[in-house]
Chain A
Amino acid sequence: QVRLQESGPGLVKPSETLSLTCTVSGGSVSSGTYYWSWIRQPPGKGLEWIGYIYYSGTTNYNPSLKSRVTISLDTSKNQFSLRLSSVTAADTAVYYCARGIPILLWGQGTLVTVSS
């Protein structure tokens, strides 16, 4: 079956750029009509949608993060990625990659801590 796996640094310094990758196994990021999303959850808090990229490459971002977010698709590696610039401690969270809206498939999540 299709599985999603997040990867990337668990610690990022303030003002730097957070970069995460979601590897899709058992399926293709370019097949079907899926929205590939990033969602985050600060410790002890609720879910926050960051943005998505459509299989065609179209993106849509959370307005509150739009100026700092880039989501891209790498069909050759069957991955999609998140870049969040100028991070602060408020960006510390578990970051999930996910497929579809509604979301039937989630990655396990990866904790990213912003700290010097």
Chain B
Amino acid sequence: SYVLTQPPSVSVAPGKTARITCGGNNIGSKSVHWYQQKPGQAPVLVIYFDSDRPSGIPERFSGSNSGNTATLTISRVEAGDEVDYYCQVWDSRNDPVVFGGGTKLTVL
């Protein structure tokens, strides 16, 4: 089955740009969604279909997808961004939905 690989952790200084990757075989041909999860809460969708942003999500959050890597980019990182992030893909009705293992963002 399809596997998504995320780094367990990413560190970034406040005000800088964080990039969280999601690797998968030819992931650029699939649609990737990103979720943010704060402790004790349900995940929240922050990017969908590679680069679209739901209403209410700051413009600091952006996404890209090409080749074997999708990337969630968080600009001007704030302390409140220090939580877990998950990528997700789903090809079609006959395919399983797949989550990446998650990345914990640490703000130094």
Residues of A within 8 A of B (CB): 37, 39, 46-49, 52, 54, 58, 60-64, 96, 101-104, 106-109
Contact = CB atoms under 8 A, between A and B. Distances in A.
Place the interface of chain B in its size category: 20 to 34
Interface string B85-108: 010101001111111111000000
Q: Is the interface of B mostly helix, strand, loop or mixed?
A: loop
The prevalent SS among residues of A at the interface is loop
Contacts, number: 55
Given A63-B1, A101-B90, A104-B54, A49 B45 contact: no
Contact of B42 (A37, A60, A107): A107
Given A102-B49, A106-B42, A60 B1 contact: no
Nearest to B49: A102
B35 interface: yes
A96 B42 contact: yes
Contacts of A37: 97
B96 A46 contact: no
A102 B88 contact: yes
28 contacts: A37-B97, A39-B99, A46-B99, A46-B100, A46-B101, A46-B102, A47-B37, A47-B43, A47-B86, A47-B99, A49-B88, A49-B96, A49-B97, A49-B98, A58-B93, A60-B94, A60-B95, A60-B96, A61-B96, A62-B97, A63-B96, A64-B1, A101-B33, A102-B45, A103-B43, A103-B88, A104-B54, A107-B42
